[in-house]
Amino acid sequence: MEITPSILTADFSRLGETLDEAIASGINWIHMDVMDGNWVVNRTITFGPALIRSVRNRLGPKVFIDCHLMTTNAEETWDQYVDAGVNMVIAHIEAVNDFPSLTEKLRDAGVQVGCVLNPGTPVDLVIPLLPVLDLVLVMSVIPGKGGQSFMPEVEEKVKTFRAAIDAQITDGGRGTKLMIDGGIKDHNAALVAGWGIDIAVVGSGLINDTASIRENLASINNSLGNNN
């Protein structure tokens, strides 16, 4: 299971140094959480394309960057994130009116496509889209709601996607990746890996004042049985 950091817990005055530390620790995928102050329940505003462009310029072309759009207008603003240099746009099924149309536009722009769903959203809304998706992100917290812990009840949702993706791959279809985001730390990383997760987004479990990114990543890898 690959680990990608969410930068929301970083000190933004030292963001460049934090990113450099992450890459030096062996991380090659950066997850950018974009909140517009409207769509998430606590009305949080995080950052937008300008900061993402700075991250791309800092890290160069080889690091994979996705943007998770927790916004009301992904269908109107996706191109700003593509122009900023992301490799993948992940949009919420609950916030997009015509996901197939958005997918086609993103493909034409040369970037990968991800679809994310909240803990309470049925998998049936996303399963039909799997053949055209590069990634499915299952939220294990409610976006923008503070003080939450990891929600283990998303297990069946994850396993349903895992089975559907495996069947798709067996039939010669797209190798859609399965990602989880919300409350992932060293104590539950092995649990979600066992469910079949390919990529876990880790925020405070990776970027905190307690230990370095390298130390926190090593702790997660140890829990997974990895020695790197």
Spacing of C-alpha 214 from chain mean position: 20
- Note if 108 is an active site residue: no
**Options 66, 134, 181, 186, the catalytic residue:** 181
Instruction: Determine whether 33 is an active site residue.
Output: yes
Count of CA atoms in the C-beta half-sphere (13 A) of 172: 0
Name which of 160, 164, 94, 156 is nearest 133 in CA terms. Answer: 164
DSSP H/E element including 103? helix 99-108
In the chain, DSSP finds a helix count (H) and a strand count (E) of 7, 8
DSSP-derived 3-state class of residue 121: coil
Give me the catalytic one of 20, 33, 83, 134: 33
Q: Which residues are catalytic?
A: 33, 181
